[in-house]
Amino acid sequence: MRPLASVLCFAQAVPAPLLLGGLLSLALPCVPSSAGAASLPDPAATPTLYKGGDILTMAGPAPTYAEALVEKGGRILYVGPLAGAIKAAGGGARQVNLAGRTLVPGFIDAHGHLVLASHTLLNADLGGVKSIPELLGRMKAHAASSPAGVWVEGLGYRAEQLAEQRHPTKEELDTVSSTRPVFVQDGSGHQGAINSVLLQQMGWTASSKDPAGGVISRKPGSSEPSGHIAEAPVFAVLAAKAPLTPAQIRQGVAKAGALWAANGQTTAAEMGFGLSDDDIDVARQIIDEQLLSIDLLLYVKHSFLEQAKAGRRAVMDQYADPAARALRVDGDGRYLNRLRLAGVKFWMDGSMDNAYMSQPYSHNPPGNSEKNFRGLPVDSQAEVEVTVASYWKSNRQIAGHAIGDQAIDNFLVAIEKAYAAQGPADHRPIIQHAQFLRPDQIARAKKVGAITSFTAGGLYPMGDYLALLMGPERLAWAGAAGSVQRAGIPWTLHHDMPAGVSPSLIYALWNIVNRTTKSGVVLAPQEKVSPYDGLRAMTINGAYQYHEEKSKGSLEPGKLADLVVLSANPLKVEPLAIKDIQVVETIKEGRSIYRNPSPSAATAAAPANDKDPVRDKDNCLVPHGDQPAKRLNPAQEATLERLMTPGR
């Protein structure tokens, strides 16, 4: 059981507008419990002067550079010519020579799952497995090193990349353990498979019906569960897990926080708070023990809202006294230490294999034989509309996971109804993923003030698979960052970890700028964006998405000194070399929280090697390297070639 102070501290972190539907406001930070707590700027703090490299401010629609930057007390004191910086810093300032490297604002994770990652980073890594025997081998190795009696879990495989072109069966997972629950999730986190023990524990049998918004797959010609589950049943399994111990929480949060910081991210998100029933315990311990060095915004899973209300009375009783309040460097009272409850999250559909489309898929995902398959809706449309309306005028943001065009349409309908009934609001609802955003939906999104956030990191590794599923017409909508940019809509980049491909936003930037697939095709080239606009999507636009643009996202006096030192300037290297840029150092409010141990991080981006895409005499990308043939059967390969070949 958590200490009472911890329980009350977390309860405070759930401000009353969310707890009471906007009837009461209470957002009082906790009393710091250690020297690491955020505080007001120290006027006696030693300033730090940065010089000797590109200082890219991100303060405007076109690139602007400064010769020097001064940080003091966790904030940016000065940005401009070196002579002015020396004067502003005064005598005794610490000086940092960037030595030709590039200084940019701290990256902002516009959609990730840091709390979920604190769980999954304790599990087996199934990323990149090429067959079910390889998957089972990793799971058995993980089981051998896990304490007796605990679940054996893994995450990261992708059915379309397995030789068998399917998910594992319960019988195959029974070979990992026939006495302990075994649970594997694919790379999206929305599908997976469980063994016989876990099927029995969940009560899913041949007579069980599929839950709303999900599927329990059956053996061919039978109603007996095969072990594969998708969407709602996956969430049910997550909710059924035993809570993490305090030691596991410390270990998992440390791993997650370090991963985000190592990738230059000074602000993170949990876009599904409540996916696990012990998420409140995790948040309590993060606050009570101050486990994070970066900021974390929580978006509560819609079905978890009632549980979030439980702490309201304790908050009112314990923290009504102003003497109990503490301030951050930026004075942002929405945060409790490093956590801020920011809004509510809906699932309008699920993974790419279940994206809810207005028209049937061109080709079904692996293992799916449903006729005219259009994907799966998840959350009830009626409930979404009611909740969006109730929060439209509040300071709690609405975020909707929507990959397919029908899922996006349903989310827009809910927003449009609230807009029509209550008028405009600076709500900035977020269309998360927005993978198949139709041209007509872009204009509708702009009218209601919506923001689109793209999971760009999947364009290279999954673009060919996307083409196979959806066909050429809808492929033109894929990740429509260019169209959104031209429409004047703020947009952001995210990685969706641990459900994403990579925790690196630099990799996402490389994808959205180049838009190449594994086969060398440029996916929807009209949707390319400039490196600068892509960099804005992970800095100032991310701050704007979170209503934090006054304190984050650009290098301007008065803002937080959230900084990233990069090995090279993304605007000055060849676009195909952007992915080689490394994070050299991550700085949160003037304090270094990550330094790259690699000597190569001190140099500019490495030149292209034999694994990089190459171009022919017409400047077209030439396929090579890891080809779709390694993961598609011959019929699928032929279909892909037809879909992706111009003029056919």
CATH number assigned to the domain comprising residue 425: 3.20.20.140
**pLDDT score recorded for residue 533:** 98
Does the residue 581 lie in any domain?
no
The tens digit of pLDDT for each residue in 85-131 reads 999 999 899 999 999 999 999 999 999 999 999 988 888 889 889 99
Least confident range of 44-58, 274-288, 606-620: 606-620
471-479: average pLDDT: 90
Secondary structure class of 628 (helix, strand, coil)? helix
Does the residue 314 lie in any domain?
no
Query: Where is the domain boundary, 240, 258, 278?
Result: 240
Q: Are residues 363 and 235 in the same domain?
A: no
pLDDT at 50 over 50: yes
203-223: average pLDDT: 90
The tens digit of pLDDT for each residue in 60-86 reads 999 999 999 999 999 999 999 999 999
* Stated pTM of the model: 0.81
Asked if residues 355 and 465 have their Cβ atoms less than 8 Å apart, the reply is no
Question: What's 190's domain CATH number?
Answer: 3.10.310.70
- State percent of the chain over pLDDT 70: 82
Query: Which residue in this structure is represented by tokens 């397919």?
Result: 404
User: Residue 261's pLDDT band (boundaries 50, 70, 90)?
Assistant: very high
**pLDDT score recorded for residue 26:** 24
Asked if residues 297 and 342 have their Cβ atoms less than 8 Å apart, the reply is yes
User: Residue 41's pLDDT band (boundaries 50, 70, 90)?
Assistant: low
Angle between helices 459-475 and 505-514 (to 10 degrees): 40
Nearest Cα residue to 188 out of 247, 113, 244, 135: 113
pLDDT at 552 over 50: yes
Query: Residue 490: is the preceding peptide bond cis (ω within 30°)?
Result: no
Q: Are residues 234 and 370 in the same domain?
A: no
Q: Are residues 357 and 491 in the same domain?
A: yes
Does the residue 305 lie in any domain?
no
Q: Are residues 495 and 629 in the same domain?
A: yes
Q: Are residues 361 and 503 in the same domain?
A: yes
Strands 182-186 and 491-493: unpaired
Q: Considering the chain, what is the average pLDDT of its residues?
A: 84
Q: Are residues 233 and 353 in the same domain?
A: no
Q: What span, in angstroms and rounded, lies between the C-alpha atoms of 224 and 200?
A: 12
Does the residue 197 lie in any domain?
yes
Query: Which residue in this structure is represented by tokens 């100032």?
Result: 540
User: Can you give the length of the chain in residues?
Assistant: 648
Asked if residues 143 and 180 have their Cβ atoms less than 8 Å apart, the reply is yes
CA–CA distance from 2 to each of 19, 340, 491 (Å)?
21, 20, 39
Q: Are residues 626 and 502 in the same domain?
A: yes
Does the residue 19 lie in any domain?
no
Domain total in the chain: 2
**pLDDT score recorded for residue 618:** 35
Query: Where is the domain boundary, 221, 240, 259?
Result: 240
Q: Which range of residues forms the domain containing residue 628? A: 348-529+609-644
Q: Are residues 637 and 494 in the same domain?
A: yes
Q: What span, in angstroms and rounded, lies between the C-alpha atoms of 229 and 562?
A: 41
Does the residue 200 lie in any domain?
yes
The type of residue at 203 is G
Does the residue 279 lie in any domain?
no
**pLDDT score recorded for residue 606:** 32
User: Residue 160's pLDDT band (boundaries 50, 70, 90)?
Assistant: confident
The tens digit of pLDDT for each residue in 512-545 reads 999 999 999 999 999 999 999 999 999 999 999 9
Residue 291 gets which letter from DSSP? -
619-637: average pLDDT: 36
Q: Which residues contact 643 (CB under 8 A, 6 or more apart)?
A: 362, 467, 468, 471, 472, 475
Query: Where is the domain boundary, 199, 217, 240?
Result: 240
Does the residue 399 lie in any domain?
yes
Q: Are residues 213 and 362 in the same domain?
A: no
pLDDT at 561 over 50: yes
Least confident range of 194-198, 199-203, 249-253, 302-306: 302-306
